[in-house]
Amino acid sequence: MEKGRIRVTYRISTECSNASARARDICLEQTVEVTEDIIRDQWIGDHIVGKIEEIREIGENTFHVIISYAEEITGYNLSGLLNLIYGNISLKRGLWVERLDLPLSFVSHFRGPRSGIKGIRERLGICHRPLLAAPLKPMGKNPEALAKLCFELALGGIDIIKDDHGLADQDFCPFRERVRLCMKAIRKAQKETGRTILYFPSLTGEYEKMNALFQWASEEGVGGILAAPFITGLDFMRYIAENDRIGLSIMSHPALTGTFFNDPCHGVGHQVLLGTLMRLAGADMVIYPNFIGRFPFTREICQSINNALSEPLYHLEASFPVPAGGISLSKIPQLKEAFGRDTVFLVGSSLFSRSDDIVDNARYFLSLVESEEKKTPLQER
């Protein structure tokens, strides 16, 4: 396959007279990291140094700059890609990654989501409605208590039950014990309801331990695992996702990504970081804060992530968006309208505080996503 170029659209904040110098600075900083005078080899200047494809003024002192990079600089892996698009310039100011366009010749090195929307729906046997997810919390409960909660949620109709992402392999809640008991609860609920329920345990920890625990969890029959790739390494998530011996689906958590989005003039666009990169790294479901919870994400941001998770990207399956972060059950109808059918709604506190009857709370949650769907004939959707 012919080698392609990776195109990054940066939004840069600078004075007009300075725009092309700043664009050129990105081209050098992200590749050769030397001043112009040191580049004496023509191939390096023409091919390795980033190339300015376009500079367009989009507002006062604001420009879209498209820079293309030779894909082989990445070494065809995610660490190389992250470094190429934003490694050094993250340490500068006023540079926002707006868009990432990847050539097939690069993307062909990645499998992407193992299951994706299609695969997760097939496993659950549910095609007509958004999916329901709930977390096992609060941290500090022992494995027995979490397994009891897991059973009640499963019995009430939750499709996907996940650990809180702070759970790992702590003394007060060891990973193996938790997974063993929760899987027992899941199997019992599956038997009672005839439904499939997927359990995604969380594990962060020492590299030398994680592989073995993931493989063990896979053999226990978990639905997949919850990963926080910007803590444990984006390529490590890809490695778990693509590893057929482990064979697990992935739900990704956005922990520690917040500073990428905090300053609207400097960072990496939500749709790039939580959209394209998570999908490329194999996340089947991508958790992020919804627009009416306790985090400062807007509706437009959520939409941009959803687009990046589902737009055509060669052979890559589409991934589920998982809006979360303080969703109240009362907002589900509104969110359902905003997010559409191919969404996993993750609800925590609101589901637990509605009443002491968790099974009933879960049933109520299910009724909120099912009710309207039933009014609409399938062919109209």
On whether the CB atoms of residues 178 and 210 are closer than 8 A, the answer is no
Q: How many positions of this chain bind its own copies (CB under 8 A)?
A: 81
Stretch binding its own copies (CB under 8 A), from 9-17, 154-162, 287-295, 314-322: 287-295
Binding mask 221-240 for its own copies (x = CB under 8 A): -------x--xxxxxx-xx-
Strands (E), 195-238: 198-200, 224-227
Question: Which 190-209 positions form the footprint of its own copies (CB under 8 A)?
Answer: 204-208
Residue ranges of the alpha helices (H) in 162-225? 175-193, 207-219
On whether the CB atoms of residues 220 and 200 are closer than 8 A, the answer is no
CB of 85 to its own copies, least distance (A): 10
DSSP state of 17: G
Does 60 engage in binding with its own copies (CB under 8 A)?
A: no
Q: Measure the CA–CA gap between 114 and 282, rounded to whole angstroms.
A: 7
The DSSP string of 241-309 is: HH-TTT--EEEE--TT-GGGTSBTTBEE-HIIIIIIIHHHTT-SEEEEE-TTSSS---HHHHHHHHHHH
Phi/psi of residue 93, nearest 5 degrees: -135, 150
Question: Which 323-352 positions form the footprint of its own copies (CB under 8 A)?
Answer: 325, 348-349, 352
Please, which residue, 76 or 187, has the CB nearer to its own copies?
Answer: 76
CB of 376 to its own copies, least distance (A): 34
Stretch binding its own copies (CB under 8 A), from 216-224, 256-264, 310-318, 360-368: 256-264
Please, which residue, 91 or 378, has the CB nearer to its own copies?
Answer: 91
Which residue in the set 83, 105, 215, 303 belongs to the binding site for its own copies (CB under 8 A)?
83
The DSSP string of 136-158 is: E--BTB-HHHHHHHHHHHHHHT-
CB of 230 to its own copies, least distance (A): 9
Does 50 engage in binding with its own copies (CB under 8 A)?
A: no
Phi/psi of residue 164, nearest 5 degrees: -65, 145
Does 48 engage in binding with its own copies (CB under 8 A)?
A: yes
| Amino acid at residue number 377 | P
Please, which residue, 117 or 268, has the CB nearer to its own copies?
Answer: 268
Distances (CA, A) of 263 to 94, 266, 268: 9, 5, 10
Exactly one of 64, 137, 141, 266 is catalytic; name it: 137
CB of 62 to its own copies, least distance (A): 17
Exactly one of 141, 253, 266, 336 is catalytic; name it: 253
Which residue in the set 79, 215, 218, 303 belongs to the binding site for its own copies (CB under 8 A)?
79
Preceding omega of 138 cis (within 30 degrees of 0): yes
Residue-wise burial string across 218-230, b where 16 or more C-beta atoms lie within 10 A, e elsewhere: bebebbbbbbbbb
Question: Which 151-180 positions form the footprint of its own copies (CB under 8 A)?
Answer: 164-166, 168-172
CB of 282 to its own copies, least distance (A): 12
Q: Which residues contact 173 (CB under 8 A, 6 or more apart)?
A: 139, 140, 141, 142, 143, 146, 167
Please, which residue, 25 or 101, has the CB nearer to its own copies?
Answer: 25
Which residue in the set 55, 139, 329, 366 belongs to the binding site for its own copies (CB under 8 A)?
139
- How many C-beta atoms surround the C-beta of residue 141 within 10 A? 18
Please, which residue, 189 or 241, has the CB nearer to its own copies?
Answer: 241
The owner of tokens 């989009």 is: 58
Does 22 engage in binding with its own copies (CB under 8 A)?
A: no
Q: Which two tokens stand for residue 177?
A: 């014990």
CB of 247 to its own copies, least distance (A): 15
Is 253 assigned a catalytic role?
yes
Which residue in the set 77, 190, 215, 303 belongs to the binding site for its own copies (CB under 8 A)?
77
Question: Which 100-129 positions form the footprint of its own copies (CB under 8 A)?
Answer: none
Please, which residue, 151 or 260, has the CB nearer to its own copies?
Answer: 260
Positions marked active-site: 137, 253
